[in-house]
Structure 1
């Protein structure tokens, strides 16, 4: 497992998804952002990717378990998710 697996919320499945869409480092993940990363995963790897995966990606970017994301961040992500 690579550097991505050291981020919160990133297990084998999410790490594999990230690598499949060309994201191989935490820096790339932060640069691309949660929403664009999620769109890539949903379009190319896991068409059924859920809201909790989106939360997990954001938590990985912020360096926190997704359950500790700010409520305002969760609301923003949920609103984005509903547009897909």
Structure 2
């Protein structure tokens, strides 16, 4: 499945994901949102917490703004720990 077929993944995010080795939806699923975010952050320092939310939403098959507050808090903690 193409990356742009996933929720939250547009052409620009797809391009960035491909540059870090994520070619398909299955690749993203296997890598997970946190590892993909770490790789994106190293390649594109401007990526932010919302990118992590969008990756998780893409994996979960939901819009990023529909993630549970608990999951958002966990992801924010992960992102904050990278600083």
Indicate whether the TM-score tops 0.5: yes
CA deviation string 1:20-59 (max 9, x = no partner): 0010111110110000000001102x11111101100000
The residue aligned with 1:75 is: 73
Runs (5+) with no aligned partner, structure 1: none
Count of residue correspondences: 82
Q: For 2:2 and 2:46, locate their aligned partners in 1 and report how far apart those are by CA, in whole Å.
A: 25
Q: What is aligned with 1:50?
A: 48
The 1-side partners of 2:52 and 2:13 are apart by: 10
Q: Which structure 1 residue ranges, 4+ long, deviate > 6 Å from structure 2?
A: none
Give me the CA root mean square deviation.
1.0
TM-score (norm 2): 0.95
The unaligned stretches of length 5 or more in structure 2 are none
Report the equivalent of 2:33: 34
